[in-house]
Amino acid sequence: MEKVIIVTGGASGIGRETAYLLAEEGAKVVVADINLDAAKDVVKKIKDKNQEAVAFKVDTSDRKNIQEMVDFAVELMEP
């Protein structure tokens, strides 16, 4: 099974650096953040290093949106 890891707040600060590190370690990273444009910038930098990442806009105060994010990550694990 591939490693798929969700990093909330992944577009800046500690979250961004965590996303970079996890991608370097071979995980497929879901860069989840309310700021989708910034998340896409992080994904681009990860992909520029031939690593795997995708951006996902999430509002962590919205339970339904959190479930959508988790479902999205689970789908990434499927072959």
DSSP line for 4-54: EEEEETTTSHHHHHHHHHHHHTT-EEEEEES-HHHHHHHHHHHHTTT--EE
Write down the residue that tokens 């896409």 correspond to: 40
Q: Model confidence at 1, in pLDDT bands (50, 70, 90)?
A: very low
What average pLDDT does range 3-25 have in this prediction?
Answer: 97
Delineate the domains of the chain, giving CATH numbers in brackets. 4-77 (3.40.50.720)
Q: Which two tokens stand for residue 51?
A: 């690593």
User: How far is 36 from 53, CA to CA, in rounded Å?
Assistant: 13
Rg of the chain's alpha carbons, rounded to an integer? 11
The model's pLDDT over 31-73, given as tens digits with 9 standing for 90+, comes to 999 999 999 999 999 999 999 999 999 999 999 999 999 999 9
